[in-house]
Structures are given as C-alpha cells and as structure tokens.
Amino acid sequence: MGRWAFAKGHGTENDFVILVDRDGANPVTAEQVRWICNRRAGIGGDGILRAVRGRHIPEWDGDPEIWFMDYRNADGSIAEMCGNGIRVFVRYLVDEGLTEGPLVPVGTRAGLRETEVLSDGRIRVAMGPARVLSEQVRVSTADQQAFDAVGVDVGNPHAVSFCADPDGLDLRSAPTWEPAAVFPHGVNAEFVAERGPHRLAMRVFERGSGETRSCGTGTVAAAAAWHARHGVVATPDLAAHTTPVRYQVDVPGGSVEVELGEQAYLTGPAVIVARGELSPPT
C-alpha cells in the first residue's frame, strides 16, 4: 500500500492523526485505524481524521467539493462528529493551504459545520443545536458509583452525570447505563462538577476511545445539561435565549468555551505538533 503522509494534532490534548485523501483513493480499514492509533506500535491518537472531498462519501448529500471530516474512533468505529477533532481538522487544512480562512465549512456525518479561525488562533465551531433528552438514564462507573444522567444529543450521543468530584471516579473501563435501549449504539459518558459561575469541570469516557483528555462535543453536552437542569430555559433545544450564555469547561487537557443559544458554539485551541510518513499494515 506504500506510505501515507500524516500529521498529528490535538485540541486540549484530545489527539488525532490526520490523513489527506482528497480523491477517496485510500479509505482506512478498522484494523488500520487501530494500528495507527496504537500508542506503542503506531503513531498514537484518540482517533483518525481523514480529509476527503464530500463526493467520495456515499451518505453525504451536500456540496460535493467540500472537505469532509471522515472521523474514526481509536477502535476503528465511525463517529458522527468530534468537536475537538474538527478544530484540529480545520487548523491543518488552513496551515497546509488546502482551504482559505477564516470561515471554513466542513462536512461531517452530523451535517454541515461552519467554523471560524479567530485572530487569537483559536477555532470557533457552530455545533448545531444541543438537544437535551427527556429519557431518565442511570450511569454506573467501574467502582460501582451510580449517577442520574442527562441525555444530550450534539449530533452524537452523550450521558452527562453531575458529581462532587469527577477526579475521584474510576474510568479505566467503560461506564454502563440503563436502560440500555436509550443509547443502542453506545454513548459518551461525561462526569461534571460546578467550579464557579458558568464554569464546569469535566472528565469523559468516550465510546470507541476510552477516557480521553477532552471531548469537544462532550463539553457542549455538559454545558447544555447543566443549563437545562438548573431551570434556566424551558425548551430542551435551548433555543429560548436570543443572547448566548457562555460557559467555561475545564477538562484534564485544558479549557474551552461553550456558547448556548439557538445553536451551540464551541471555541478552543487546535495545534499541529508533527508531520511525517507512515507505512500502514496491509
């Protein structure tokens, strides 16, 4: 199969390997994704960001020339959206001259996402509406701590639990939830505590990747769940506010800003740290 050019980047230490496949000639298999993301035998990462023109993605019915973020979790599974990954994706496209900023539209399996490269280097992403679900969910960690959780749809599924001390939880293995039918395809589990007015601390166990240093869609879900739980808004899609409400969400890898209004916006850093070539297994 030869060698592939790659780049490595992260957004609040949620790290990704970036592959450019403009013409869709090198789709990656689940086995190749697992090898590339392996931190001992491969490059290492929480997932793969494959940059491909939209016309090569069968389920994409938008602009065929748009850059599409074909995102894979570290275990090779496909995910609809990645809030940190899309910032890294845009940072790479702009740095390499593959697109012009500051406004960059990106195709994802959760739909079109508009992004903006800010003057301070951070990237702001229009995440779509954050929809708080009505179903009651109970989440349990590996050390048998159980929490009532709030389900949130940010283009991908989340279960947000509130606790006094997220740092004290055992997230070495995947939390479980019930009823299982609420999230039939798995869920990202966030554990959140208030650290001040409009400031939250969060840890996350991501489906397909395990505990990560950050989850962009998870920070949006955390802010939306907290916002809704405390009775600030009456509608589950948070569309009642004409003036955005801003939250700072602190994760082990840094901090991001979440704006909630008619839709959610996520703003945070994105850094490319390495470029090179890899020889994937056949």
pTM (2 d.p.):
0.93
Collapsing DSSP to helix, strand or coil, 75 comes out as coil
Q: Which of 279, 276, 272, 241 is nearest to 259 (CA)?
A: 241
Same fold, 4-126+269-278 and 131-262: yes
Dist CA 154 CA 150 (whole Å):
13
User: What is the C-alpha to C-alpha distance for residues 88 and 174, in angstroms, rounded to an integer?
Assistant: 26
Q: Which of 19, 33, 57, 82 is catalytic?
A: 82
Q: Can 82 be counted among the known catalytic residues?
A: yes
Sort strands 188-196 and 176-178 into parallel, antiparallel or unpaired: unpaired
* 149 neighbors 177 (Cβ within 8 angstroms): yes
In tens digits, the chain (282 residues) has pLDDT values of 578 899 999 999 999 999 999 999 989 999 999 999 999 999 999 999 999 999 999 999 999 999 999 999 999 999 999 999 999 999 999 999 999 989 999 999 999 999 999 999 999 999 999 999 999 899 999 999 999 999 999 999 999 999 999 999 999 999 999 999 999 999 999 999 999 999 999 999 999 999 999 999 999 999 999 999 885 543 445 555 557 899 999 999 999 999 999 899 999 999 999 999 998 776
- Which of 193, 215, 228, 270 is catalytic? The answer is 215
**What is the CATH number that goes with domain 131-262?**
3.10.310.10
C-alpha–C-alpha distance, residues 46 and 73, integer Å: 6
- In degrees, rounded to 5, the angle at the alpha carbon of residue 237 between the alpha carbons of residues 236 and 241 is 105
Please state whether the peptide bond connecting residue 252 to the residue before it is cis, i.e. omega within 30 degrees of 0. Answer: no
**Under a CB-based contact definition with an 8 Å cutoff, are residues 160 and 223 in contact?**
no
Q: Alpha-carbon distance 197 to 224, whole Å?
A: 15
Known binder of ligand: residue 14?
yes
Q: Is 26 labelled as part of a ligand binding site?
A: no
Domain segments of the chain as ranges: 4-126+269-278, 131-262
Is 178 annotated to bind ligand? no
C-alpha–C-alpha distance, residues 30 and 251, integer Å: 28
Task: Please check if 73 is assigned to a binding site.
Answer: yes
List 281's β-bridge partners, or say none: none
What pLDDT is attached to residue 166?
96
37 catalytic per annotation: no
CATH of 4-126+269-278, picked from 3.30.565.10, 3.10.310.10, 1.10.150.570, 1.10.3720.10, is: 3.10.310.10
Are the C-beta atoms of residues 197 and 247 closer than 8 Å to each other?
Answer: no
80 secondary structure, DSSP code: S
The radius of gyration computed from the CA coordinates of the chain, to the nearest angstrom, equals: 18
Please give the structure tokens belonging to residue 71.
Answer: 């995102």
